[in-house]
A and B are shown apart, each in its own frame.
Chain A
Amino acid sequence: MDMGSKNMYNKPIGVIGAGSFGLAVANLLAENNSVLLYARNIEVVEAINKNKSWDKYNIHSNVCAINDIQELAEKCEIIFPVVPSANFREMIKTLSPFLHPYHILIHATKGLDLNLPAGCSLSDMKVLERHHIKTMSEVITDESVVVRVGCLAGPNLAGEIAKGLPAATVVASHFNEVIQIGQQLLRSDRFQVYGNPDLTGIELCGVLKNIIAIASGALSGLGLGENARSLLISRGMVEMIYLGRAMGGKTESFIGLAGIGDLVATSHSTLSRNFTVGRRLAEGESLQDILGDMQEVAEGVNTIKICKKIAESFKIRAPITEILHRVLFEGLTMEEAVQYLMKYPLNVDVDFM
């Protein structure tokens, strides 16, 4: 792969979503390419185009913001959607009429979508089946004609990337072509890109690690120390693998950069949203208050809701997920949760290989 070669792509690269990670992706892409960034909010578009900055981030001069999603689809062949999972399906539905099979979509959204029978909510469902749960790439192929789909996942804290600190990511796709394009577009002196053909597994790594991040935040909030955090990370890893395999991911993917790599980063990052949710819960705040004053979505909260149901339906042991569900939605305190977990009868260290 020729690194840093310019003008390899005759069309601009599209990014959808101007959240902190969307901006980080746009900036990375802009080092070698011109980038069209779609933002829903017209003020954001203007601020980016005028001031080359938004939120607390500087925006690369190669990034041009627009407010017209049709224009984005017509001008770009390669698009990176980075919007919260709750809005993802709507966004793809809006985009879909303008998409063609030549489009390549590489998303970076770390959440799940629920596809329940009409009129049902999660609590109505006795049992969840795999086809009720969709990863973001499955949402893309469900709602559009695009088949060349990939995802980005890995320890990529937006703040650190903005500062130009070294980092790496994983591009996953069933198509080698998509992996190569992702590598060519994103690779730089400070950014390394690995490829993985297990699209589902890599998507689930990004999704499931948010559960453990909330738990890790809670440990910090309770001041329980690093032994406890290491215990959490390694048991959390096992839980991720069980849940991930049940939904079609491969074990190997979870022990790579997007799995254990991202898990360690997120569990230590006091700035991450999911970590913050856990910490503030442990400090005694209510979930509603916390979510009320957060600027961006903490995907982990919704993921816990879904994964608890998955664990029940697929008969998987997922004690961390289950106990967090009780804290978040059933009024258990974090102290009680920790006590419960310490008594949980588990004595085999590694039983997933």
Chain B
Amino acid sequence: MKINRYRNKRKYEPILPGPKEWPVVQISRNRKEFVQEVSDSAFERIKGITRNKVALIEELEITLFKEKARIRQNSWKVDPDDDASFWNGVKSRLLDLSQSKNKNSQEADNILKDIIHRYASEIAGNFNTSHYRIARTIATFGFNRLLNAARIKKFGSFWSDQLTMNDKIQINGEVEKLREMAKKGTIVIVPTHSSNLDSILIGWVIYTLGLPPVIYGAGLNLFNISIIAYFMNSLGAYKVDRRKKNIIYLETLKAYSALALKKGCQSLFFPGGTRARSGKIEKELKLGLLGTAIEAQRINYQEKGDKAEKIYVVPVSLNYHFVLEAPSLIHQYLEKQGQERYYVENDEFSSSYKIITFLFKFFTKGSNISVSIGKPMDVLGNNVDDEGNSIDRHNRLIDAKDYFTFQDKITIDKQREEEYTRMLAEKIVDQYSKIARVFSSHLVAFAAFEILRKRNRKLDLFSLLRLPEEDLIISYDELKRVCARLKDKIFERVAEKRMSVADHMHEPIDEIIDHGISNVGMYHSKRPLIRLNSGDVTTMDMNLLYFYRNRLDGYGLEKHV
């Protein structure tokens, strides 16, 4: 595709003057105090859940059991050296406690405090301004170099400045509104998640838009690799250990997120929790961290009343023609769907070598990407006006504080906030499906897959995916007819603001199909769609075709094939 056509050369000034003002700098400067604050808050939360001493001791024992199992079965390089000795200590203290029979009623609390403090110190990020600068410079510089080397196939083009990230990645949607709201309150960015690339991409987007750095949870496994660990730390990541599923850990994590938000740190959650393995746009969100946005907003109102800092939630959709991990993602998805047996989560990022090859492939080969910024919303999912006030559907002002009020007082009601979280998640999912940009590649993949499905109406999904090669050929005329019809239906929905399309979707249908076929999963060794010499179209890998097809799932387009 013609690179220069849809150039987006817009430069954005940083919205906060210098790093001194960044809340993330302030919490990392006072890291020790912050960890203590997190620990205190987590302690209160857990005491609230375990109402008496017996229940608390039980929780401690469960945690101990799980942690010992983790150390035995699944230990990582990044784990601290004293892991085993710490938990042995907990074990003997719990043993003493059970034998001494209530003599020291504080001991259970003390054990809890020690565990929480250990977790909180582990989670806490290590943001450092100069490292942030260096990391950012290296990243931007390196990416541009790679990009130029790959795209302009001329000797010496490695040093050319002809192309920048802006040409490769388009940012569209409510950019100005996002910047405005970032000046007025605390932003929580909630992107869709389909690739390991997402964290890097979104980091770049945040920098490009002139927003202060965000803090985000990054899997502890990424910190196993020292070079990645350096970048992650520099970019404001805190650590999330997916192996630790005990309540004490999860509550400490939530306390960390809620407190950071309260202090005005812009945050990022991938609310889908993990990469969308099916290729579908996320429909079910994880509510744990999302709930901390609502909690932090309520605490702000409790502490500051009408002057409270507001929290804005901004859905972001990341759109690709090509997801490098697609083959393994869809494989895992189908395996899980096919049989409910335990499967080991595949980690493509297990070594420095793999991640570097990944990045290299992406920047040298990847096709264009677009990032759509959704409408900023308050924590209940209401729209906000240009001043950041919540408004209802009739543009009437809403005082968001009223959601937490009963009889003129702000009340704490966990179940109420859980329900609000569920409502917010629905609003986010709704925005995802509206802002996700349809690419030519999604259209052709959907059309081709649905043509094959319709042709074999009696087969279930798994038999369909195993169709023999000779049954996979689609005549160009049929594909064109279906694509044209689907395109019309998509444009109807675009007019109703229920879907969005990339600019290239306005081209004539033959060009869209051409563009789609050459871009869909373009660097997989087995291409999801190829053109035969006869002009007809076929697939080399039904699973991959299904993966890319899924991006258009859930819009009710199937019936128009």
- Chain A positions within 8 Å of B, measured between CB atoms, are 9-11, 77, 96-97, 100-102, 104, 144-145, 147-148, 174-177
- Which residue among B399, B403, B419, B420 has the maximum number of chain A CB atoms within 10 Å of its CB? B419
The answer to whether B403 touches A101 (Cβ under 8 A) is yes
Cβ-defined partner of A145 (8 Å) among B398, B413, B416, B419: B398
Cβ-defined partner of A147 (8 Å) among B403, B413, B415: B403
The answer to whether A147 touches B423 (Cβ under 8 A) is yes
Distance in Å from the Cβ of A221 to the closest Cβ of chain B? 45
Give CA–CA (A230, B141) in the complex, Å: 80
The answer to whether A147 touches B380 (Cβ under 8 A) is yes
Instruction: Please name all residues of chain B whose beta carbon is closer than 8 Å to the beta carbon of A147 when the two chains form the complex.
Output: 380, 403, 420, 423
Instruction: Please name all residues of chain A whose beta carbon is closer than 8 Å to the beta carbon of B413 when the two chains form the complex.
Output: 176-177
Give CA–CA (A10, B409) in the complex, Å: 12
The answer to whether B415 touches A176 (Cβ under 8 A) is yes
Closest chain B residue, CB of each to CB of A181: B406
Distance in Å from the Cβ of B347 to the closest Cβ of chain A? 38
Instruction: Please name all residues of chain B whose beta carbon is closer than 8 Å to the beta carbon of A96 when the two chains form the complex.
Output: 394
Give CA–CA (A11, B406) in the complex, Å: 11
The answer to whether A175 touches B398 (Cβ under 8 A) is no
Distance in Å from the Cβ of B556 to the closest Cβ of chain A? 10
Instruction: Please name all residues of chain A whose beta carbon is closer than 8 Å to the beta carbon of B399 when the two chains form the complex.
Output: 100-101
The answer to whether A175 touches B416 (Cβ under 8 A) is yes
Report 9 cross-chain contacts, Cβ distance below 8 Å, ordered by A residue. A10-B407, A96-B394, A97-B396, A100-B398, A101-B399, A104-B406, A145-B392, A145-B398, A175-B419
Query: Which 8 A-B residue pairs are closest in the complex by CB-CB distance?
Result: A101-B402, A102-B402, A101-B403, A102-B405, A176-B415, A100-B402, A145-B392, A174-B419
Closest chain B residue, CB of each to CB of A129: B556
Given contact pairs A11-B407, A100-B399, A145-B398, enumerate 19 new A-B contacts (beta carbons under 8 Å).
A10-B407, A77-B406, A96-B394, A97-B396, A100-B398, A100-B402, A101-B380, A102-B402, A145-B382, A145-B392, A145-B396, A147-B403, A147-B423, A175-B415, A175-B416, A176-B415, A176-B416, A177-B406, A177-B413
Distance in Å from the Cβ of A314 to the closest Cβ of chain B? 15
Instruction: Please name all residues of chain B whose beta carbon is closer than 8 Å to the beta carbon of A97 when the two chains form the complex.
Output: 396
Is B400 interfacial (CB-CB < 8 Å)? yes
Instruction: Please name all residues of chain B whose beta carbon is closer than 8 Å to the beta carbon of A9 when the two chains form the complex.
Output: 407
CB within 8 Å for A77 and B407 given contacts A101-B398, A101-B400, A102-B402: yes
Name the prevailing secondary structure of the A interface residues. loop
Instruction: Please name all residues of chain B whose beta carbon is closer than 8 Å to the beta carbon of A101 when the two chains form the complex.
Output: 380, 398-400, 402-403, 405
Instruction: Please name all residues of chain B whose beta carbon is closer than 8 Å to the beta carbon of A177 when the two chains form the complex.
Output: 406, 413, 415-416
Instruction: Please name all residues of chain A whose beta carbon is closer than 8 Å to the beta carbon of B403 when the two chains form the complex.
Output: 101-102, 147
Give CA–CA (A145, B397) in the complex, Å: 10
Instruction: Please name all residues of chain B whose beta carbon is closer than 8 Å to the beta carbon of A10 when the two chains form the complex.
Output: 407
Which bracket fits the contact residues of B? 10 to 19
Distance in Å from the Cβ of A222 to the closest Cβ of chain B? 45
Give CA–CA (A340, B398) in the complex, Å: 55
Give CA–CA (A42, B399) in the complex, Å: 33
Instruction: Please name all residues of chain A whose beta carbon is closer than 8 Å to the beta carbon of B406 when the two chains form the complex.
Output: 77, 102, 104, 177
Give CA–CA (A329, B398) in the complex, Å: 45
Distance in Å from the Cβ of B357 to the closest Cβ of chain A? 47
Give CA–CA (A176, B394) in the complex, Å: 29
- Which residue among A9, A97, A174 has the maximum number of chain B CB atoms within 10 Å of its CB? A174
Instruction: Please name all residues of chain B whose beta carbon is closer than 8 Å to the beta carbon of A174 when the two chains form the complex.
Output: 419
Give CA–CA (A96, B396) in the complex, Å: 10
Closest chain B residue, CB of each to CB of A104: B406
Give CA–CA (A69, B389) in the complex, Å: 27
Instruction: Please name all residues of chain A whose beta carbon is closer than 8 Å to the beta carbon of B405 when the two chains form the complex.
Output: 101-102
Give CA–CA (A214, B131) in the complex, Å: 75
Give CA–CA (A230, B394) in the complex, Å: 49
Residues of chain B from 399 to 432 with CB closer than 8 A to chain A in the complex: 399-400, 402-403, 405-407, 413, 415-416, 419-420, 423
Give CA–CA (A177, B382) in the complex, Å: 22
Give CA–CA (A97, B392) in the complex, Å: 10
Instruction: Please name all residues of chain A whose beta carbon is closer than 8 Å to the beta carbon of B402 when the two chains form the complex.
Output: 100-102
Distance in Å from the Cβ of A102 to the closest Cβ of chain B? 4
Distance in Å from the Cβ of A8 to the closest Cβ of chain B? 9
Closest chain A residue, CB of each to CB of B422: A174
Instruction: Please name all residues of chain B whose beta carbon is closer than 8 Å to the beta carbon of A102 when the two chains form the complex.
Output: 402-403, 405-406
Distance in Å from the Cβ of B170 to the closest Cβ of chain A? 33
Give CA–CA (A144, B393) in the complex, Å: 9
Give CA–CA (A344, B419) in the complex, Å: 44
Instruction: Please name all residues of chain A whose beta carbon is closer than 8 Å to the beta carbon of B419 when the two chains form the complex.
Output: 174-175
Residues of chain B from 243 to 302 with CB closer than 8 A to chain A in the complex: none
Closest chain B residue, CB of each to CB of A77: B407
Distance in Å from the Cβ of B379 to the closest Cβ of chain A? 12
Closest chain A residue, CB of each to CB of B396: A97
Instruction: Please name all residues of chain B whose beta carbon is closer than 8 Å to the beta carbon of A77 when the two chains form the complex.
Output: 406-407
Distance in Å from the Cβ of A330 to the closest Cβ of chain B? 30
Instruction: Please name all residues of chain A whose beta carbon is closer than 8 Å to the beta carbon of B380 when the two chains form the complex.
Output: 101, 147
Closest chain B residue, CB of each to CB of A176: B415
Distance in Å from the Cβ of B380 to the closest Cβ of chain A? 7
Closest chain A residue, CB of each to CB of B415: A176
Give CA–CA (A102, B410) in the complex, Å: 10
Closest chain A residue, CB of each to CB of B403: A101
Closest chain B residue, CB of each to CB of A178: B416
Residues of chain B from 366 to 387 with CB closer than 8 A to chain A in the complex: 380, 382
Distance in Å from the Cβ of A228 to the closest Cβ of chain B? 43
Instruction: Please name all residues of chain A whose beta carbon is closer than 8 Å to the beta carbon of B382 when the two chains form the complex.
Output: 145
Distance in Å from the Cβ of B476 to the closest Cβ of chain A? 34
Instruction: Please name all residues of chain A whose beta carbon is closer than 8 Å to the beta carbon of B407 when the two chains form the complex.
Output: 9-11, 77
Closest chain B residue, CB of each to CB of A174: B419
Instruction: Please name all residues of chain A whose beta carbon is closer than 8 Å to the beta carbon of B423 when the two chains form the complex.
Output: 147
Closest chain A residue, CB of each to CB of B392: A145
Distance in Å from the Cβ of A261 to the closest Cβ of chain B? 26
B87-121 interface code vs A (CB 8 A; 1 in, 0 out) = 00000000000000000000000000000000000
Instruction: Please name all residues of chain A whose beta carbon is closer than 8 Å to the beta carbon of B396 when the two chains form the complex.
Output: 97, 145
Instruction: Please name all residues of chain B whose beta carbon is closer than 8 Å to the beta carbon of A145 when the two chains form the complex.
Output: 382, 392, 396, 398
Give CA–CA (A145, B395) in the complex, Å: 11
Give CA–CA (A101, B396) in the complex, Å: 12
Give CA–CA (A73, B423) in the complex, Å: 24
Give CA–CA (A77, B409) in the complex, Å: 12
Give CA–CA (A104, B396) in the complex, Å: 19
Give CA–CA (A11, B405) in the complex, Å: 14
- Which residue among A10, A97, A100, A102 has the maximum number of chain B CB atoms within 10 Å of its CB? A102
Instruction: Please name all residues of chain A whose beta carbon is closer than 8 Å to the beta carbon of B415 when the two chains form the complex.
Output: 175-177
Give CA–CA (A97, B397) in the complex, Å: 10
Give CA–CA (A144, B396) in the complex, Å: 10
Instruction: Please name all residues of chain B whose beta carbon is closer than 8 Å to the beta carbon of A11 when the two chains form the complex.
Output: 407
- Which residue among B405, B406, B413 has the maximum number of chain A CB atoms within 10 Å of its CB? B406
Distance in Å from the Cβ of A130 to the closest Cβ of chain B? 13
Distance in Å from the Cβ of B430 to the closest Cβ of chain A? 12
Instruction: Please name all residues of chain B whose beta carbon is closer than 8 Å to the beta carbon of A175 when the two chains form the complex.
Output: 415-416, 419
Give CA–CA (A96, B392) in the complex, Å: 11
Closest chain B residue, CB of each to CB of A141: B423
Give CA–CA (A102, B407) in the complex, Å: 8
Instruction: Please name all residues of chain B whose beta carbon is closer than 8 Å to the beta carbon of A104 when the two chains form the complex.
Output: 406
Closest chain A residue, CB of each to CB of B405: A102
